[in-house]
Chains A and B, each alone.
Chain A
Amino acid sequence: MRVRGSARRRASNTAGYLFISPWLIGFFCFTLIPVGASFYLAFTKYEIVSSPTWVWFDNFIRMFTKDYRYKSALKATFYYVFTAVPLRLVTALAVAMLLQKSTKLISVSRAVYYLPSIVGGSVAVAVMWRQIFGRAGLVNALLKFVGITGPNWLGNPKTAIWTLIVLAAWQFGSPMLILLAGLKQIPQSLYEAAAIDGAGGWRRFRTITLPMLSPVIFFNLVMQLINGFMVFTQAYIITGGRPLDTTLFYTLYLYQKGFRDFEMGYASAMAWFLLVIIAFFTLLAFRSSSFWVYYESRERE
């Protein structure tokens, strides 16, 4: 009996694996094996047309000691992440609070505000953005209308990255939706009690909304941090890293190294170090959370 039972179990296991095989094949072929291969390649000099040669830590040493453009890439990426992510979260929260109120057109306006996020990462929007901030673009046309000669948005090393940051802030849709759900979870009774005690709007926001919302904000922060470090399409299309490498984001440089200069080993090393950077900041966010994230459930324990 026992033998028969295990045979049946094995048969049903096989069936199970067969059923998930499309996913399994995809996972092994397109995720696990490439990830493993890139880890190996990170320690090689590999120019695609010749076979990889093992170079130990040369790629990493070159990254930190010799490669000026790598430094520019780090600088641009950090600048972007630490301005664009907070801006996007603040915008998302502000819009979520506005949309919280129930009015007749609420579902329409929610959809409308979510739209930029759906189309946001696309090439079409990036091309449009290029035109908006181009020399004779929409922004400068409006400025001209009020008598100001607009700057060279995309050409000026100080402003170019801000066109990308503004684009990021505009794509607040998904954190906004999550925050909106979080806002709905906050019991009305808390606000009512506070109002009776004479708390004003700002005070209610600071002492009720923010703490009650902090787990959701925390979740968004982590997700947006990770997304922020991986920003690519926008810079690839809108600025191409120019001018003076001020918008040369990490992944853009990684792409250039791998697919333009054909230094796959070096690009793999860069990719793995990006993982370290992201892991570090995610960990930092988690560590900091005990100071500012408030979990109602934990209080009851």
Chain B
Amino acid sequence: MSKMGRILALTLIALMALSIVGHAADPIELRVAWWGSQNRHDRTLEAIKLFEEKYPHITVLPEYSGWADYWPLLTTQAAGRNLPDVMQQDYAYLGEWVKRGLLMPLDGFAASGLLDLSTIADAQLSGGMIDGKIYAISLGTNSLAMVFDPELFEKAGVEIPDTWYTWDEWVALCHEIHDKLGIFGAGGNFQNEHIFKTWLKEHGVWLYNEDQTALGYEDDQLYVEFFKMLLGLQKSGAMPTLEWDVARAALGLEDALIVSQQSAMDFAWSNMIVALVSAAGRPLKLGLMPQLGPNSVPGNYLKPAMFFSITSQAKHPEEAALFIDFITNSIEANEILMAERGVPIAPAVREALLPMLSEAQQEMFRYIDVAEKHSSPIDPPDPPGHNNIMQNVYDQLAEQVLYEYISPEQAAKEFRRQAEEILRSN
């Protein structure tokens, strides 16, 4: 018995010794945060499993939520100096986060090869750059698009417009469809900031000036004309009135009017086509945004749908870089992620995915190809205070204009006054 005991003890000691050796490189816990839908959570968790298999010394602690909860959560973590290593970033927040010193520049990791960006086009990286340094790696490319319902267009006997068409033609199209089918030509919410920014881009200006101290356009007529166009559509019934649209009690993308065939056109970011098509259960087409005229500056631009960034509070920046490299370049990982965040930026990944895509995803890839050829460079990241200006000033005034409480002229003046007040307080 005692011999058995001794063997047992020895085995135990040996096992312990082994396990100590095995843990010589301490297990690293890498915290990764993102927002998204259930579909994205499932795919990302699956890809993380693959990452952990490849790098057994790293354990990923995922922290995921919906968009609305994500920012309060991460901001609170930032205040508590408790940010995760890797976080999903958004273009609207990137400037502010870099300015506050919460993100780490990634150029060093790219130079050391930990994060391989050698095959990625500059245009795909520029969206994540601030002052010449890379702070964020795009997880997929997006572009604003007009969504068309081919079935309804056929029913109305109208052609889906060519690549290049003007706003005037688009307005006429809305009227024509409304007259022929009795439905809306285009869904609501066209006062959205992104449409307005597209409109400004075509006029050759950005919403802000270069120093980010004032609005980027001198002539309030730009604002006035944009809202007059929407008011006109609203009045004729070719577009839902804002009152009608608010009263719908719509909850999500699935409630879009184009899904229920109540409108023949709508706008969306190109990656939303997948959700729209699956909600609609029939094919939809993507097209460029309308243009001012035959020779105007393209209003479309390629936008990183979202990024991964390494926070300045990261405990394991090198492993974080490894993780971002894996998500960017690994074909196996992307076969799981399936471009759910947007069209991947690595050419090899794109090529590998192509034969596996669903019809809706193929449409998205096709559209990004078209948009790439007809787009302007992306605007610089928005200044701090931008979200404040949009939600407390722009949206409020747009609502008052579309409810016809104030005229577009009044709103244009008010917008300039209040927006610049916020910009000055930065």
Pair A135/B243 contact, Cβ less than 8 Å: no
Chosen A-B contacts, 21 in total, with CB atoms closer than 8 Å, are A48-B79, A49-B75, A49-B97, A69-B396, A130-B249, A131-B249, A134-B247, A152-B247, A154-B246, A154-B247, A155-B242, A155-B245, A155-B247, A242-B246, A243-B242, A244-B400, A245-B396, A260-B71, A260-B387, A260-B391, A261-B388
Q: For the complex, give the distance between the alpha carbons of A157 and B246 in Å.
A: 10
Q: For the complex, give the distance between the alpha carbons of A51 and B75 in Å.
A: 12
Q: Which residues on A are within 8 Å of B, measured CB to CB?
A: 48-50, 66, 68-69, 130-131, 133-137, 152-157, 242-245, 256, 259-263
Pair A49/B100 contact, Cβ less than 8 Å: yes
Pair B248/A135 contact, Cβ less than 8 Å: yes
The verdict on B221 contacting chain A, using a C-beta distance below 8 Å, is no
Q: For the complex, give the distance between the alpha carbons of A156 and B241 in Å.
A: 11
The B interface is mostly helix, strand or loop, or mixed, namely: helix
Residue of B nearest to A69 (CB): B392
Pair A242/B244 contact, Cβ less than 8 Å: no
Which interface residue of A48, A49, A152, A153 has the most chain B CB atoms within 10 A?
A49
Contacts of A69 in B (CB 8 A): 392, 396
Q: Which of B244, B387, B400 contacts A261 (CB 8 A)?
A: B387
Contacts of B76 in A (CB 8 A): 48
Pair B391/A244 contact, Cβ less than 8 Å: no
- Contact A261-B391, Cβ < 8 Å, known A131-B249, A157-B403: yes
Q: 1/0 per position for B379-415, CB-CB distance to A under 8 A?
A: 0000000011001100010011001010000000000
Pair B246/A261 contact, Cβ less than 8 Å: no
Q: Which residues on B are within 8 Å of A, measured CB to CB?
A: 71-72, 75-76, 78-79, 97, 100, 102, 242-249, 387-388, 391-392, 396, 399-400, 403, 405, 421
Q: Which of A137, A152, A256, A260 contacts B246 (CB 8 A)?
A: A152
- Quote the shortest CB–CB distance from A126 to chain B (angstroms): 11
Residue of B nearest to A154 (CB): B247
Contacts of B391 in A (CB 8 A): 256, 260-261
Contacts of A260 in B (CB 8 A): 71-72, 387, 391
- Contact A243-B244, Cβ < 8 Å, known A137-B249, A154-B249: no
Contacts of A154 in B (CB 8 A): 246-247, 249
Contacts of B388 in A (CB 8 A): 261, 263
Contacts of A155 in B (CB 8 A): 242-248
Q: For the complex, give the distance between the alpha carbons of A153 and B78 in Å.
A: 41
Contacts of B78 in A (CB 8 A): 48-49
Q: For the complex, give the distance between the alpha carbons of A300 and B403 in Å.
A: 61
- Quote the shortest CB–CB distance from A111 to chain B (angstroms): 30
Pair B249/A49 contact, Cβ less than 8 Å: no
Q: For the complex, give the distance between the alpha carbons of A135 and B97 in Å.
A: 40
Residue of B nearest to A260 (CB): B391
- Quote the shortest CB–CB distance from A234 to chain B (angstroms): 14
Contacts of B100 in A (CB 8 A): 49-50
- Quote the shortest CB–CB distance from B171 to chain A (angstroms): 23
- Quote the shortest CB–CB distance from A156 to chain B (angstroms): 6
Residue of A nearest to B243 (CB): A155
Contacts of B75 in A (CB 8 A): 48-49, 262
Pair B249/A133 contact, Cβ less than 8 Å: yes
Residue of A nearest to B68 (CB): A260
- Contact A134-B249, Cβ < 8 Å, known A244-B405, A260-B391: yes
4 nearest A-B residue pairs (beta carbon): A155-B247, A134-B249, A152-B247, A155-B246
Pair A156/B247 contact, Cβ less than 8 Å: yes
Pair B405/A259 contact, Cβ less than 8 Å: no
Residue of B nearest to A243 (CB): B246
Q: Which of A133, A136, A243, A262 contacts B243 (CB 8 A)?
A: A243
Contacts of B245 in A (CB 8 A): 155
Pair A261/B79 contact, Cβ less than 8 Å: no
Contacts of A66 in B (CB 8 A): 421
Which interface residue of A137, A155, A156, A245 has the most chain B CB atoms within 10 A?
A155
- Contact A242-B249, Cβ < 8 Å, known A69-B392, A256-B391, A261-B387: no
Pair A49/B399 contact, Cβ less than 8 Å: no
